[in-house]
Structure 1
Amino acid sequence: MSNMVLGNMNSLVFDHRSQEWAIFKSRFGQFCLVNDITEDTDKAGVKRRGILLSALVEDTYRVARDLALPTALEETAYATLIKKFDEHFETKRCGFVERYHFYKAEQRPGEELSEWAARVRRLAQFCGFTSELEMALRDRFVLGLENPKEKEKLFAESISALSFSEALKIAQSVRCARLAIRSSGGSSAGVGATSEVFALSPAATESKKVKCSVCGYYNHSKQQCKFAEYSCKKCGKKGHLNRVCRSKTRSANFLVEDTDDICEDLTM
């Protein structure tokens, strides 16, 4: 190995009171890798042990010394040190608690869509999802969206065909269009563009003056409406949403306030 050290060793410091061991361990591995300190070049682990111990702040070094007893810390095998650190410094996690935080998460005010998507992935990290991971990510991303227009557009998509990455792309395109319309000054042309952005069916060919009796939008017909099988939260009957319901009575099973928000309206 060359005498020149790649990377900043001064920044390679671990304090268990304020840092996450898993992140430091990954950074430490990358530092050794770029400096060609590997299983082949450091079979006994002496160099890696020396670098690791020199990166510990005093309090962490003291904890490491106690963990190694009765063997002296500087005589403990590198692999043994890593195992002991993993057992001691890794945060103990409860799967149900992790899922609780995952399912209750919502997009924060001002949080970018890409940031929200990344946070959803991070929250799912210790939830134990296996084959259902993609579906769980998509559902939490869509249901946790802050903006009702972005959520409304995604609610109109086919749940069997919508992936997590596609949901992010659609939400971002809706947000870009909305911001573009807003920056145009809210002209009459912008109003028409808005109805096109939030069209429930891109293939709708009906006149925009024809109002759908199922959901109340103008850019598709009743036969094309994706909410035709939904039940009204006001009267309980299938075939229309609360926002267009003409019934003066309410079903006992659907006691809700009138709303124009389609996100509050979608109940089978």
Structure 2
Amino acid sequence: MPFGKIEPFDVSSHNWDAYCRRVKQFIALNNISEDLHVATLVTHVGIACYELMCDLCSPDLPEDKKFEQLVKIVKDHLEPQRSEIAERHMFRQRKQRQGEIVSDYLKSLKHLAKHCNFRDSLEVNLRDQFVSGLQSEDMRSRLFAERNIDYKRAIELALALEAAERHAAEAASGASSSAISEGLHRIRSSPARAERGRMKRREGAGGVQADAAARAGALSLEGSRRGCWRCGRSGHPPSRCRYKFYSCDSCGQRGHLKVVCGNVDKCSDAVIQKNTKGQLFFND
């Protein structure tokens, strides 16, 4: 049972070198003898890549080639020799994009630098292009201010500045959200408080009116129990007496009948009573 597993090669990925390195590690891990290296590669690349090998090796077969020969044949087809000037031009044109984080920007620069043949000056070129291509003017100015800054220090400082900016933005966003929430809570609660105030005022006014009506009803009931002074009958208050506008046959005054004329003070047409607040009024 072999150790590890290698998936078939994706011809469209054009990453043949990386795939071949993995195959070599698989061979070393399983201690596969040299005469089986080609067989190991051919049996793992998949049908699409094997057919490509057959076309490239024709009229020979891939199995007839040595391991390094077969690797180079596929590499020359998938990754032909590139122009160093063109590759370096693409490298110099790479800038940090809007919304792209620093780590992704650096990863892209490293990928483009693979074919630029920088050799010993790789880190210097990466540092220079990384700093000059930063989107943030403040971050770039901060790195410019560092004297004799090397590649590693430039990356560390840029990552730290990015993290500080992100934390500051999150803190400001949290404070703004809190202020907005508090404002919305005030706006939403103000109508509720106003409505509760109106309800209390209504209840207060309604209580006063109810008390007044109750007192008036009590007085009317008391008057109806004592009997009507206009006609002498019980069961209704004087204000609702049907003889309210009759003229007395005895004295000629309006507002009562003859049978009660002696009980009415001077047979006055206007009789003084008290209302529910204890104030005097004239009731016809």
Matched, 1:179 2:176: no
Report deviation, 1:56. 3.1
Report deviation, 1:28. 1.2
Aligned residue identity for 1:8:
K
Whether the 8 Å CA contact 2:139–2:161 is kept in 1: the answer is yes
Equivalence for 1:56: 45
Equivalence for 1:155: 144
Q: 1:6 to 1:124 in 2, by over 3 A?
A: same
Q: Secondary structure at the match of 2:28?
A: helix
Report deviation, 1:19. 4.2
Report deviation, 1:144. 0.5
Equivalence for 1:36: 31
Report deviation, 1:99. 0.7
Report deviation, 1:100. 0.9
Q: Secondary structure at the match of 2:119?
A: coil
Q: Secondary structure at the match of 2:11?
A: coil
**d(CA) in 2 for partners of 1:117 and 1:178?**
18
Q: Secondary structure at the match of 2:12?
A: coil
**d(CA) in 1 for partners of 2:172 and 2:10?**
52
Whether the 8 Å CA contact 2:14–2:79 is kept in 1: the answer is no
Structure with the higher helix share, 1 or 2: 2
Aligned residue identity for 2:130:
F
2:2 to 2, 5, 17: 5
1:111-150 aligned within 5 A: 111-150=100-139
TM-score between the two structures when normalised by the length of structure 2: 0.55
Report deviation, 1:98. 0.6
Whether the 8 Å CA contact 2:143–2:154 is kept in 1: the answer is yes
**d(CA) in 2 for partners of 1:150 and 1:167?**
10
Larger radius of gyration: 2
Q: Secondary structure at the match of 2:172?
A: coil
**d(CA) in 1 for partners of 2:96 and 2:28?**
37
Whether the 8 Å CA contact 2:16–2:78 is kept in 1: the answer is yes
Give % identity.
Answer: 29
Q: CA RMSD of the aligned region, Å? A: 2.3
Greater mean alpha carbon deviation, residues 102-111 or residues 18-27: 18-27
Deviations 1:111-167 (A, max 9, x none): 221222222222111112134322211111101111122112112122xx1111111
Q: 1:96 to 1:153 in 2, by over 3 A?
A: same
TM-score between the two structures when normalised by the length of structure 1: 0.58
**d(CA) in 1 for partners of 2:138 and 2:68?**
53
Deviations 1:86-127 (A, max 9, x none): 333334311111111110101122222122222222211111
1:234-253 aligned within 5 A: none
Higher relative contact order (CA 8 A, sep 6+): 1
1:20 to 3, 15, 18: 15
Whether the 8 Å CA contact 1:22–1:90 is kept in 2: the answer is no
Greater mean alpha carbon deviation, residues 50-59 or residues 19-28: 50-59
**d(CA) in 2 for partners of 1:167 and 1:53?**
44
For structure 1, which runs of at least 5 residues remain unmatched after alignment? 187-268
